[in-house]
Amino acid sequence: MPKTKRPRRGSMAFYPRKRSRRIYPNVTTWVSTKETQPLGFAGYKAGMTHVVLMDNNPHSTTKGQEITISVTIFDCPPLSVFGFRCYTGNKTCFDVFSEKLDKKLSRKLKLSKESKKLEEQLKKLPENIAKITLLCHTNPNFKKKPEVFEIPIGGKIEDQTKYAKEMLGKEIKISDVFKEGDQIDVVGVTKGKGFQGEVKRFGIKVLGRKAQKMQRHTGSHGPEEPGKVRFTVPQPGQMGFQRRTEINKKILKIEDGFQIKGGFVGYGNVNGVGVLVQGSVPGPKKRLIFMRFATRPKKVYPIDIRYISKESKQGV
């Protein structure tokens, strides 16, 4: 019998494979828009289900037919804007905070108890501002400690300044940023799986029973020259809990509340705004996932949803 072969398992594209610095990622790349609006949003992963929709892609083999695809449901409560940050180039130069700060912020940040008046803060704004970002915090229903992050604003710098002043102390909804049919990129931190060996981490072959001492390890670490182990050699180490970005996810539906029978396992029902995103998303349930406008968008075809499954699903 001929020897069966298979492609290499385990991508070599993600190096170094180190743990993420925090449980929610830092997004560095945003797609600028001419409109004055936030360039992204964040929501909590609640679970998965499936939908039946019409395939309107004329180049697909199933065009004009009903197909079943998996979808991820996000719980997207409004984001509170408690301040904005000014940049000169790539360096921060000034922060402006709202006069009334939520008590939840004291669990995450150490801010001065004496809040300065907004007029006094705005008088100190520098003139050579290159960029303005909103300082936001989440309002989760299942924990007391919110997440704090920045979201940039699109448009000209004059419009950014005006928009940031208007939004101080207010809330941003996902409908203010995205709409149904938009293409987005999702950025999250994957499930952590701890220290793992070469077989699970890279999918290398398990050696035979006559192998030297061990079976679940790399057979050879390389030649004698150049006298070092190359980075391409599979070795044990950290697996999971790493920042990953998945591009070109489509928002299929945005609706108030998404409830299924018995609720999502490990999360419950989505009582706020539920967002259905095509495909899977990195990270476990209750983890914050960032959504931004697609950096490399493809052509979008009309969405025609025929059925949304709201049955209880174990383990998704």
Cβ(188)–Cβ(244) under 8 Å? yes
Place of tokens 């000169």: 88
- Which has the closest alpha carbon to 181: 87, 267, 53? 53
User: At residue 308, does pLDDT exceed 80?
Assistant: yes
| Higher-confidence position of 15 and 289 | 289
What lies within 8 Å, CB to CB, of 311 at 6+ separation is 49, 260, 261
Q: Work out the number of other CB atoms within 10 angstroms of the CB of residue 165.
A: 14
| Higher-confidence position of 17 and 78 | 78
Cβ(274)–Cβ(260) under 8 Å? no
What is the C-alpha to C-alpha distance for residues 137 and 314, in angstroms, rounded to an integer?
Answer: 31
Residue 253 to residues 22, 91, 179, 188, 249, Cα–Cα distance (Å)? 30, 38, 8, 21, 12
Residue 4: its pLDDT value, please?
A: 76
Residue 314: its pLDDT value, please?
A: 67
The full set of domain ranges for the chain reads 79-172
- Which has the closest alpha carbon to 42: 84, 80, 96? 80
pLDDT tens column, 259-285: 888 889 999 999 889 999 999 999 999
Q: Rounded to the nearest 5°, which phi and psi values hold at 93?
A: -125, -25
Q: What average pLDDT does this structure show over 180-208? A: 93
Q: How confident is the model at residue 79 (pLDDT cuts 50, 70, 90)?
A: very high
Residue 100: its pLDDT value, please?
A: 85
User: At residue 10, does pLDDT exceed 70?
Assistant: no
What is the C-alpha to C-alpha distance for residues 140 and 107, in angstroms, rounded to an integer?
Answer: 13
User: At residue 8, does pLDDT exceed 70?
Assistant: no
What is the C-alpha to C-alpha distance for residues 259 and 78, in angstroms, rounded to an integer?
Answer: 18
Q: At 68, is the secondary structure helix, strand, or coil?
A: strand
In the chain, the amino acid numbered 168 is L
In the chain, the amino acid numbered 62 is T
Residue 127: its pLDDT value, please?
A: 84
Residue 209: its pLDDT value, please?
A: 87
What is the C-alpha to C-alpha distance for residues 108 and 100, in angstroms, rounded to an integer?
Answer: 16
Q: What average pLDDT does this structure show over 160-176? A: 94
pLDDT tens column, 99-110: 888 888 888 888
Helix (H) or strand (E) holding 152: strand 148-152
User: Burial, 175: exposed, middle or buried (Cβ in 10 Å; 0-12, 13-18, 19+)?
Assistant: middle
**CATH topology classification for 79-172:** Ribosomal Protein L3; Chain: B; domain 2, (3.30.1430)
Q: How confident is the model at residue 214 (pLDDT cuts 50, 70, 90)?
A: confident
Cβ(184)–Cβ(291) under 8 Å? yes
What is the C-alpha to C-alpha distance for residues 148 and 2, in angstroms, rounded to an integer?
Answer: 57
Farthest-apart Cα atoms in the chain, separation: 82
